[in-house]
Amino acid sequence: MAPQRRGTAASRGKRATPVLLTPASTKSGGNSFDLRITDRFGNPAQGSEVVVEPAMPQMGHALAPITAAALEPGHYQVGADLFMAGQWEITVSFDTERVVIPLLLT
């Protein structure tokens, strides 16, 4: 299956920060996310630590947060073991922003 592209924009106050999360797989098991974060002008986000917090609300279960590795400014990669099929919630946090991205694994 071709990787799905999932994007969402976080807005808090005046800022709007698009986050584009591309999972390597939509199956349960080992996975990795490609993250592209830009500021409201479309420039790559600078500097801050990006942390991915996977959780499965239906199962009442959260995984330990994982710090994403920066490949280049605004482009991050992170691996996660999402061991169960179902509806996950991937929270991407950086600076003071927290963006929640739903991800359905089969």
Contacts to other proteins by CB under 8 A: 53, 55, 59-65, 83-84, 93
CB 83 → other proteins: shortest distance, Å? 5
Across the strands, what pairs with 95?
Answer: none
CB 53 → other proteins: shortest distance, Å? 5
CB-based burial of residue 33 (10 Å sphere; 0-12 exposed, 13-18 middle, 19+ buried)? Answer: buried
Nearer CB in complex with other proteins: 7/83: 83
Q: How many of the other CB atoms lie within 10 Å of CB of 18?
A: 17
**Tokens describing residue 50:** 């990006």
CB-based burial of residue 49 (10 Å sphere; 0-12 exposed, 13-18 middle, 19+ buried)? Answer: exposed
CB 102 → other proteins: shortest distance, Å? 17
Nearer CB in complex with other proteins: 35/56: 56
Nearer CB in complex with other proteins: 34/53: 53
